[in-house]
Amino acid sequence: AAAKIPRGESSVVAAARRLPVGVRKPSLRVVVTGGAGFVGSHLVDKLLARGDSVIVVDNFFTGRKENVAHHLSNPRFELIRHDVVEPILLEVDQIYHLGCPASPVHYKFNPIKTIKTNVMGTLNMLGLAKRVGARFLLTSTSEVYGDPLEHPQKESYWGHVNPIGVRSCYDEGKRTAETLTMDYHRGAGVEVRIARIFNTYGPRMCLDDGRVVSNFVAQTLRKQPMTVYGDGKQTRSFQYVSDLVDGLVTMMESEHIGPFNLGNPGEFTILELAQVVKETIDPSARVEFKPNTADDPHMRKPDISKAKSLLHWEPKISLKQGLPRMVSDFQRRIMDEK
């Protein structure tokens, strides 16, 4: 019997679902917004490697052409300089919507632009998904939990977020993006997925993007002290980028809307992270204490039991395994600066 095509599912995706086991899926046309950035470029590598055609839409605010330069001669790859705040017409089967600055330093640089990107950018990508019947995945964030009163955080937790603070353009922006995503799903039948990503690190992060892992690694390689904000007792959980990318693709291909927490449950204080960086790179590395920023969440650790049971996904790479892979990339780029 012919399988029912869910509303909002493209014909290519529906055809792929009906294929007998063992028959290769037809190549999908996928758009990755923010595909020239850190996470996006690793996702693009994976999608192209499995045979998809990929269009990257990026305004290069924090992304770099260099991150995808190795694909420029691939006929299945296209790079478009475009700001998602403006509408765009494309014909695709899947949309991975990552376009948005992710580091606090970058998203606080122009907060109005950040909230516009989250609201108007997400609206445009959902409008596109609706028009062409594409499946849409939003990369939301653990920041939707704010400074959480529940620990570890489950997807059912509604969060503890300051709506008028300096982080609001990002965390309230992503909360609105989640709302838009669910409204297009319920109201317009768009097939959607929501990933709540926890702190992720790896090669191709901006050297000076201000996030803690990239800061500590770059500082130690440059023989500068690691800047610990506050007392360094606040906690975070650090996920290696390939685990995240596996999780995003698994979610997109699954039958589940989410939201799903995608993160590594290993929890470290910032001082413990500094210790791991020191052991990995330079035993003589030092730390320097600096005042903390406003509204900094005190602790963060994902409960990933939902993704484990429904997606059979869990991270494979520990901080001690992942860090050296990032260090070699940073070493090369810091050498190139000289």
Q: Is 170 a catalytic residue?
A: yes
**Rounded to whole angstroms, what are the CA distances from 316 to 36, 63, 113, 263?**
25, 26, 35, 11
Site stretch for ligand NAD (CB under 6 A), options 98-106, 180-188, 218-226, 306-314: 98-106
- Asked if residue 101 binds ligand NAD (CB under 6 A), the reply is yes
- Asked if residue 217 binds ligand NAD (CB under 6 A), the reply is no
Query: How many residues of this chain interact with ligand NAD, rule: CB under 6 A?
Result: 28
**Out of ligand UDP, ligand NAD, none, which partner does residue 197 contact, by CB within 5 to 8 A per kind?**
ligand NAD
Amino acid (one-letter) located at 287: V
Is residue 133 within 8 Å of 15, Cβ to Cβ?
no
Catalytic residue among 96, 107, 145, 170: 170
Out of 28, 30, 32, 39, the only residue in the binding site for ligand NAD (CB under 6 A) is 39
Contacting positions for ligand UDP (CB under 6 A): 87-89, 104, 123-124, 127-128, 130-131, 199, 210-212, 215, 227-229, 234, 236, 270, 292-293, 296
Euclidean distance between the first and the last CA atom of the chain, given in angstroms as a whole number: 64
The minimum distance between CB 53 and ligand UDP, in angstroms, equals 18
What lies within 8 Å, CB to CB, of 80 at 6+ separation is 55, 56, 57, 58, 88
Q: What is the DSSP string of 136-182?
A: EEEEEEGGGGBS-SSSSBPTT---B--TTSTTHHHHHHHHHHHHHHH
**Contact mark string toward ligand NAD, 68..87, x via CB under 6 A:** ---------------xxx--
Q: How far apart are CA 235 and CA 267, in angstroms?
A: 6
**Rounded to whole angstroms, what are the CA distances from 279 to 216, 220, 320?**
12, 11, 9
Out of 47, 123, 129, 197, the only residue in the binding site for ligand NAD (CB under 6 A) is 197
Is residue 93 within 8 Å of 135, Cβ to Cβ?
yes
Site stretch for ligand NAD (CB under 6 A), options 7-15, 34-42, 44-52, 325-333: 34-42
**Out of ligand UDP, ligand NAD, none, which partner does residue 95 contact, by CB within 5 to 8 A per kind?**
none
10: left (phi over 0), alpha (psi -120 to 50) or beta: beta
- Asked if residue 155 binds ligand NAD (CB under 6 A), the reply is no
Residues of this chain that bind ligand NAD (CB under 6 A): 33-34, 36-40, 58-63, 83-85, 98-102, 117, 121, 139, 141, 197, 199-200
For the annotated catalytic residues, the residue numbers are 170
